[in-house]
Amino acid sequence: MLFKQLVDDDLGCASYLIGDEAAGEAVVVDPRYAIEPYLEEAERAGVRIVRVLETHNHADHVSGHGRFALEHDVPVGIHALAEAEYPCELIADGDELRVGSLPVRVLHTPGHRPEHCCFLVEGHLLTGDSLLIGDAARPDLAIEAKEGAEDLFRSLRRLTDLPDETEVDPGHTGGSLCGASLSSDRTSTIRSEKLTNQALALSDMQEFVAHSAAIAAPRPPTVERVVALNRGPFLTAQPPLPQLEAVEGQLLDVRPAAVYAGGHVHGAVNVPLDGSSVGTKSAFVLEHDRAITIHASATEEAEDGARRLYAVGLLDIAGYVLGLPTPERLEPVSVDELEALMAKDAVEVLDVREKDERDEGYIPGSRHIPYRLVRAYRDELDNGRPVVTICSSGARAGVAASVLAAEGVAVRPVLDGGIDDLQKRGHQLTAFRRCGSG
């Protein structure tokens, strides 16, 4: 048996290539838009991909099922409740599909989305966006959160009735927006999840619903766009990325933050390729109805940036530019300098982390706006007082500063360090205190 997990670290998404090497056949489950890795793995293993199976209409990344269908004549299987607008093989609870001699059992597990299915094959449970490692998936991306949570509660109980030794192979790993407390582990077992998964520890449905409703992770910014692409007519590969002489539309600078700070084009937003969640961050800070030009240091970097944008449904990429004049500068702030500036009350400190992070402890007197929302507050922030952006490590502070700089706000980011560094230096943080009874 061939069983290969392929993880897109930028999105925190896992997909699978499963095959019968003796029969020379394989199936891909939840392929991402860049299908080349599956084709390469299949060729190495000497198998032919004969089917694509989707656990559901994905909301955070574009599927590669259209490319498999159009470019390789591979059929796609998905549950009827997905309301797919493309030719597909409908699958239903209890179906047993065959890949060579391997049986693939379909388990309908609604909750994350109504059509959601898991697949059980030779002791491996492919859970998609239902049971994750350490938590359960969010139920608020397709229907009303309470209804989704109730369905998900029942689906999880069904999965935990499987044998304890069953391997859990999830559709999301750490770094995804689809669960609040995901482990960095990429596989688990039913036994282990029963013992450690915080969602499974909630045996009462109403407790589980309340837990699910408390999800603090932001909703993926391109949900409707991505679901429509995944449900709609097959989408093939994008054309080769052209090199441009001039910027068309909005400019995304994917060079490292320090390079961007040392010189960039006026109006450019910086989401560095050497950071995490590049596609998702870009989708949060770019306009979705305008063409995108990528500014990179090399053609290969631009193509990598384009792949990450395509993955989250941002398909209108005009091309890329290299070697542009970069007259604008952004002066980073060290933690040492920030201490001195705060002592003089000379800057407005802008905490750009998410709310749940800030609740754990924040700089007294600082203002809180998550990096993905700062553009909406540019008028309030452009008040003549210098702004310093800060997060945990510097990554989001840099993105936020680039957005504000593009809007004309006087801003400096803390790129090498963050809130934790200030705390280690003895600065007392204020923690959010929740009211409770007793």
Q: What is the pLDDT of residues 303-321, one digit of tens each?
A: 999 999 999 999 999 999 9
What was the pLDDT predicted at 140? 72
341-to-96, 333, 389, 427 alpha-carbon distances in Å? 65, 10, 13, 14
Per cent of the chain over pLDDT 90 is 83
What was the pLDDT predicted at 178? 45
Task: For each of the domains in the chain, give its residue range(s) and CATH number, in order of start.
Answer: 2-213 (3.60.15.10), 239-321 (3.40.250.10), 335-424 (3.40.250.10)
What was the pLDDT predicted at 138? 83
Task: Return the SS3 of 323.
Answer: coil
DSSP string, 210-259: HHHHT--SPPPTTHHHHHHHHHSS---PPPPPPB-SS--SEEEE-S-HHH
What was the pLDDT predicted at 348? 95
Average pLDDT over residues 392-417: 96
Q: How far apart are the first and last CA of the chain?
A: 56
State yes or no: pLDDT of 396 exceeds 80. yes
State yes or no: pLDDT of 337 exceeds 70. yes
Average pLDDT over residues 18-27: 98
State yes or no: pLDDT of 228 exceeds 90. yes
What was the pLDDT predicted at 177? 47
Average pLDDT over residues 335-350: 93
pTM recorded for the entire structure: 0.93
State yes or no: pLDDT of 50 exceeds 60. yes
If pLDDT is split at 50, 70 and 90, which confidence band does 428 have?
Answer: confident
Element (H, E) at 277: none
What was the pLDDT predicted at 173? 86
Please list, in sequence order, all residues whose beta carbon lies within 8 angstroms of the beta carbon of residue 115, skipping any fewer than 6 positions away: 56, 57, 78, 79, 80, 81, 82, 83
If pLDDT is split at 50, 70 and 90, which confidence band does 216 have?
Answer: low
Please list, in sequence order, all residues whose beta carbon lies within 8 angstroms of the beta carbon of residue 358, skipping any fewer than 6 positions away: 351, 368, 432
What was the pLDDT predicted at 144? 67
State yes or no: pLDDT of 434 exceeds 70. no
What gap in Å lies between CA 389 and CA 196, rounded to an integer?
Answer: 36
Q: What residue type is assigned to position 245 of the chain?
A: E
If pLDDT is split at 50, 70 and 90, which confidence band does 268 have?
Answer: very high
Lowest mean pLDDT among 181-190, 221-230, 235-244: 181-190
If pLDDT is split at 50, 70 and 90, which confidence band does 328 have?
Answer: very high
The candidate with the shortest Cα–Cα distance to 97, out of 123, 119, 126, is: 119
What was the pLDDT predicted at 437? 35
105-to-123, 162, 205, 276, 289 alpha-carbon distances in Å? 11, 13, 27, 35, 41
Question: Does residue 225 contact residue 158 with C-beta atoms inside 8 Å?
Answer: no
State yes or no: pLDDT of 94 exceeds 70. yes
Antiparallel, parallel or unpaired: β 250-253 and 269-270: parallel
State yes or no: pLDDT of 296 exceeds 90. yes
What was the pLDDT predicted at 212? 79
Phi then psi for 75, rounded to 5 degrees? -70, 155
Q: What is the pLDDT of residues 153-196, one digit of tens each?
A: 999 999 999 999 999 999 998 654 444 566 678 999 999 999 99
What was the pLDDT predicted at 179? 47
What was the pLDDT predicted at 210? 84
What was the pLDDT predicted at 432? 65
What's the whole-number average pLDDT of the chain? 93
Residue with the larger pLDDT of the pair 220 and 290: 290
What was the pLDDT predicted at 103? 97
